[in-house]
Amino acid sequence: PAQSMEELVSLCKRRGFIFQGSEIYGGLQGFYDYGPLGVELKNNIKAAWWRSNVYERDDMEGLDASIIMHRLVLRHSGHEATFSDPMVDNKKNNKRYRLDHLVKDQKADVMARVTELMGQSAENFPALVAALNANPAQASTALREAGVRDPFSGEVGEWTEPKPFNMMFKTTIGPVADEDSYGYLRPETAQGIFTNFKNVVDSTSRRLPFGIAQIGKAFRNEITPRNFIFRVRELEQMEIEFFCVPGTDEQWHEHWLEKRLSWWEAQGVPRSKIEILDVPKEDLAHYSKRTYDLMYDYPTLGHEEIEGIANRSDYDLGSHTKAQGELGLVAKVEENADSVAKLTIPHPDTNKPVVPFVIEPSAGVDRAMLAVLSEAFTKETLENGSERIVLKLRPHLAPIKVAVIPLARNREEITSVARAIKGELQGLGLGRVLYEDSGNIGKAYRRHDEVGTPYCVTVDFDTVGKGEDPVLTDTVTVRDRDTLAQERVKISELSSWIQAKLR
């Protein structure tokens, strides 16, 4: 695995996985562009998730909802009121920080001041942040007296009172910018699933339990985007909302925890690198009955959330439904006078309408990329003493499956055979197969090691009957990325050989 974030950042840029967004105009913080290899790896991760969670199950449907949503969706979901982080400004340099990020490194000092100023101590870090947020005037004093430093300048800052900052991106819809003509870029894909619940049920005749899966972009105006693609403002999520009979929710929660851990394992991210955080009651989001956060051990950052698996009770459908009063909701929801749909489904035993409970496994594609790359990253010292970097990606995730390399790029008899092989292998539908005549063979091997290509196929003079050994006619050399073994394979058997290896 990678030892530092820096190693990954440099590989990603050098080989074309990830670039800074809007780079030629100085870059835009919190936005990244996925390059030629990044888009392949990302697509492969998403395809693996879709295969496992939609195709390989019979209790799941897919969805692709729109990104810009009606403001009432985000009002009734609770995001207008609560999707905000407290933040503070440093009056000395006008830099703005998230309160929790700012306090994190000096929490002992701040805690001591809070105890003194507010006459009570907070029992943990979230409680400390909550106390500061609830008492803005004293918070600003506490930050000053504790001598909290500005992470940018390193100097003690002059801090304002914490203010809530809503992280949703708002945009004008249509030609007239009046009071009601705005919508939001969705801050999570989940809301599109809840608002389509009735459509999916009615069009598929689903009965409980079943789930809806969606992959797509979400947008959060993070105050401090950082750590490469770990915290970005335009992100992609892979989310499932699994609807079940109230009372069976705890079992399904455990089911999904297990499923998701084994999926990560199959992508090369082992369980031993993921800590399961059973989020303490007092830290739970208002809609959550219980949440497991999967905390992957990122290089440089340490354990940070890669996926959250939440039991959201009947909060979401209960918030978006009409006739809330008749439905015996368990969750505490705000009144909804706007919705025109009753979001219920017949109970499988009684046939009475019921608002199902929801289990939500929600993973970030960008954070998945980072974890997959980090686990695959390997530095090896070879027998001859030289060092190589190799990405030991699982073959189904590799951006390029096979590179076909003609040993001489100006010899028609060789290049035509190589092109024919590329065409045949491409036709297998395994993913990208690359015809590669960009440099000498050693350089090509090094490049393909670094981007994780499982096999390189070389067409040489022996292949076309112009070498030393006539027995080698119509055979090619196949080089294995991980073992470096080179094997001579008959062209007529190459497709099935590759297919067997990449399955």
Minimum Å gap between C-beta 235 and ligand ATP is: 4
* Nearer CB in complex with ligand ATP: 222/413: 222
Report if residue 311 touches ligand ATP, rule: CB under 6 A: no
Residues 126-155 that bind ligand ATP (CB under 6 A): none
The C-alpha angle 312, 318, 320, rounded to 5 degrees, equals: 110
The site map against ligand ATP for 107-126 (x = CB under 6 A) is: --------------------
Q: Which of 53, 191, 237, 453 binds ligand ATP (CB under 6 A)?
A: 237
* Nearer CB in complex with ligand ATP: 263/455: 263
Report if residue 231 touches ligand ATP, rule: CB under 6 A: yes
Minimum Å gap between C-beta 279 and ligand ATP is: 9
Minimum Å gap between C-beta 386 and ligand ATP is: 37
Report if residue 361 touches ligand ATP, rule: CB under 6 A: no
Q: Given the DSSP bridges, would you call strands 387-391 and 400-406 parallel, antiparallel or unpaired?
A: unpaired
* Nearer CB in complex with ligand ATP: 285/420: 285
Report if residue 462 touches ligand ATP, rule: CB under 6 A: no
Q: Which of 37, 148, 193, 306 binds ligand ATP (CB under 6 A)?
A: 306
Kindly determine how many residues on this chain lie close enough to bind ligand ATP according to the rule CB under 6 A.
16
The secondary element (H helix, E strand) that includes residue 304 is strand 302-311
Residue nearest ligand ATP, Cβ-based: 364
Give the Cα separation of 202 and 213 in Å (integer).
17
Q: Which of 103, 232, 355, 444 binds ligand ATP (CB under 6 A)?
A: 232
Q: Considering only CA atoms, which of 257, 236, 197, 259 is closest in space to residue 57? A: 259
Q: Given the DSSP bridges, would you call strands 455-459 and 400-406 parallel, antiparallel or unpaired?
A: parallel
* Nearer CB in complex with ligand ATP: 278/412: 278
The site map against ligand ATP for 159-198 (x = CB under 6 A) is: -----------------------------x----------
Give the Cα separation of 42 and 12 in Å (integer).
13
Q: Which of 89, 222, 283, 413 binds ligand ATP (CB under 6 A)?
A: 222
Q: Which of 37, 363, 397, 457 binds ligand ATP (CB under 6 A)?
A: 363
The C-alpha angle 69, 71, 74, rounded to 5 degrees, equals: 80
Give the Cα separation of 131 and 117 in Å (integer).
11
Strand, helix or coil for residue 208: coil
Q: Considering only CA atoms, which of 247, 219, 248, 243 is closest in space to residue 318? A: 243
Neighbouring residues of 236: CB distance < 8 A, sequence distance ≥ 6: 42, 46, 215, 216, 217, 218, 364, 365, 366
Report if residue 88 touches ligand ATP, rule: CB under 6 A: no
Give the Cα separation of 454 and 394 in Å (integer).
9
Q: Which of 220, 447, 479, 481 binds ligand ATP (CB under 6 A)?
A: 220
Q: Which of 214, 362, 458, 477 binds ligand ATP (CB under 6 A)?
A: 362
Phi, psi angle pair for 174, to nearest 5°: 85, 175
Minimum Å gap between C-beta 366 and ligand ATP is: 5
Instruction: Provide the β-strand partners of residue 243.
Output: 210, 358
Peptide bond into 209 cis (omega under 30): yes
Report if residue 41 touches ligand ATP, rule: CB under 6 A: no
Q: Which of 305, 413, 424, 450 binds ligand ATP (CB under 6 A)?
A: 305
Give the Cα separation of 217 and 314 in Å (integer).
25
Stretch that binds ligand ATP, among 12-20, 206-214, 228-236, 494-502 (CB under 6 A): 228-236
Report if residue 421 touches ligand ATP, rule: CB under 6 A: no
* Nearer CB in complex with ligand ATP: 287/445: 287
Q: How many CA atoms lie within 13 A of 375 on its CB side?
A: 21
Confirm if 320 and 77 have CB atoms less than 8 A apart: yes
Phi, psi angle pair for 241, to nearest 5°: -110, 115
Minimum Å gap between C-beta 168 and ligand ATP is: 12
Stretch that binds ligand ATP, among 56-64, 133-141, 356-364, 402-410 (CB under 6 A): 356-364
Residue 116 CB neighbour total at 10 angstroms: 12
Binding residues for ligand ATP, rule: CB under 6 A, are 188, 220, 222, 231-232, 235, 237, 305-308, 362-364, 366-367
